């Protein structure tokens, strides 16, 4: 690997190791074509290059954001020649007398299109047999060791649920841990909530009743992406947490009951909260797909569904497919089931990992669980930032 300090800066603060060096660079119909040592070729539009030009005239050297408007560039701007400097930096000369640009080869390689679908996922889909317990890490050790903290976050991203254990029962600890991931995202339950039995509950969660599998906040335009539950004390019996991988359920439905899968992707249910002081309402399919068909989110909560105002045939299709989804969500084969021990902190992807619980008997015991939310992109940002800070010699 070459000394990255010698390369031009990039429009970000990421590291771009040059693992595959360029072997040829040439203009091609005004664009730049780069051939790499592995034989692959990538092509870059002149506007792509110009707006990412690391020159201080176009890229603010501190913010690393472009200062150009698209209208600052001639519409027929064209690369007229290109060279590879001895260290691999790629220089481009332009039409219209525009000053030459120089690009970091690792950045160009990392942002090149080589065919196929750039969207990738590291998700590990699971059933109860494959994942009987959440991936679990020692809490105090993870708080001391950034590499272990990163391992917890990575497990959360990949499995949709991950646990810290042996944490002390401290006021504010849940917020401090969550804020190491990202900002807390408040909700109609406040910045943080305590799962306790309320005399006048504004959710089934605030009773001792069993809870079916569900996501929280299907009533929001974008339901919260992450949820954290911190068990600070538990002397009750019952109340085990029950988690299911809804992405696995959806994938199995796609393979085994495709008509129901398609209905769950197509039909948009509305969800509304039942509160005397707020009235949230949002609409979306149970299974959300990307444009390439990847499953990207779940909106499933039986007791927050609003009436489905639709033709009878659509109601029939909606209810039958919802029932098929529920049959899998409530099948023990899909359910990871475990007790909340004092000191456990469960973090899970609220739009992927369905959660629920057995009912519990509060007589003669207490149960103290705090919860709060943040979002998926906070998790992804924290993972990327930690990876950046833990990797040596990758900054540019
Ligand atoms: Fe919940």
Ligand 1 centre to CA of 227 (Å) is 9
Residue 120, pLDDT score: 64
Ligand 1 centre to CA of 261 (Å) is 24
Report d(CA 352, CA 361) in Å as an integer: 29
Ligand 1 centre to CA of 206 (Å) is 10
Ligand 1 centre to CA of 189 (Å) is 11
The CA-based angle 18-23-28, given to 5 degrees, is: 110
Report d(CA 239, CA 10) in Å as an integer: 51
Report d(CA 233, CA 236) in Å as an integer: 9
Average pLDDT score over residue span 176-196: 93
Between these two residues, 316 and 2, which has the higher pLDDT value?
Answer: 316
The distance in angstroms from the start CA to the end CA of the chain is 13
Ligand 1 centre to CA of 120 (Å) is 28
Ligand 1 centre to CA of 96 (Å) is 60
Instruction: Report the candidate in 211, 206, 202 with the shortest Cα–Cα distance to residue 238.
Output: 211
Q: Coil, helix or strand for 50?
A: helix
Ligand 1 centre to CA of 122 (Å) is 25
Ligand 1 centre to CA of 115 (Å) is 41
* Residue 206 CB coordination number (10 Å): 17
Ligand 1 centre to CA of 172 (Å) is 21
Residue 204, pLDDT score: 76
Whether the per-residue pLDDT at 393 is higher than 60: the answer is: no
Whether the per-residue pLDDT at 79 is higher than 90: the answer is: yes
Structural domains in the chain? 8-116 (3.30.2020.30), 136-386 (3.60.130.10)
DSSP-derived secondary structure letter, 132: S
33-53 tens-digit pLDDT? 999 999 999 999 999 999 999
Report d(CA 232, CA 37) in Å as an integer: 55
Ligand 1 centre to CA of 354 (Å) is 8
For the entire predicted model, the pTM comes to: 0.89
Rounded to 5 degrees, what are φ and ψ at 326? -60, -40
């Amino acid at each position: 690997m070459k000394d990255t300090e010698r390369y031009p800066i990039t429009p970000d603060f990421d590291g771009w190791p040059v693992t595959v060096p360029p072997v040829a660079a040439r203009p091609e119909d005004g664009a730049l074509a780069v051939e790499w040592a592995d034989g692959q070729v990538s092509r870059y539009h002149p506007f792509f290059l110009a707006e990412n030009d690391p020159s201080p005239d176009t890229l603010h050297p501190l913010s690393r954001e472009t200062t150009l408007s698209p209208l600052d560039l001639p519409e027929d701007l064209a690369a007229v020649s290109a060279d590879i400097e001895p260290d691999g930096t790629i220089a481009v000369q332009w039409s219209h007398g525009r000053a030459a640009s120089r690009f970091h080869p690792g950045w160009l390689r990392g942002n090149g299109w080589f065919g196929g679908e750039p969207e990738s996922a590291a998700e590990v889909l699971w059933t109860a047999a494959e994942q009987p317990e959440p991936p679990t890490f020692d809490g105090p050790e993870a708080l001391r060791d950034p590499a272990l903290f990163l391992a917890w976050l990575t497990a959360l991203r990949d499995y949709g649920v991950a646990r810290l254990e042996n944490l002390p029962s401290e006021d504010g600890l849940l917020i401090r841990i969550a804020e190491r991931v990202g900002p807390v995202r408040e909700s109609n339950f406040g910045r943080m909530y305590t799962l306790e039995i309320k005399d006048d509950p504004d959710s089934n969660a605030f009773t001792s009743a069993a809870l079916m599998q569900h996501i929280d906040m299907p009533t929001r335009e974008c339901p919260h992406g992450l949820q954290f539950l911190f068990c600070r004390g538990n002397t009750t019996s019952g109340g085990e947490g029950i988690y299911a991988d809804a992405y696995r359920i959806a994938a199995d439905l796609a393979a085994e009951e495709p008509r129901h899968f398609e209905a769950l992707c197509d039909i948009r249910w509305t969800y509304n909260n039942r509160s005397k002081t707020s009235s949230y309402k949002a609409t979306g399919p149970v299974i959300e797909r990307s444009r390439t068909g990847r499953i990207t989110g779940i909106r499933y909560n039986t007791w927050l569904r609003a009436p489905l105002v639709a033709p009878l045939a659509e109601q029939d299709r909606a209810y039958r497919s919802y029932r098929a989804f529920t049959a899998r969500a409530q099948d023990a084969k899909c359910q990871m089931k475990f007790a909340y021990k004092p000191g456990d902190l469960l973090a899970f992807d609220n739009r992927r990992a369905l959660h629920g619980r057995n009912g519990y008997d509060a007589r003669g015991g207490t149960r103290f669980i705090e919860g709060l939310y943040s979002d998926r992109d906070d998790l992804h940002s924290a993972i990327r930032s930690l990876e950046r800070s833990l990797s040596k010699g990758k900054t540019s």
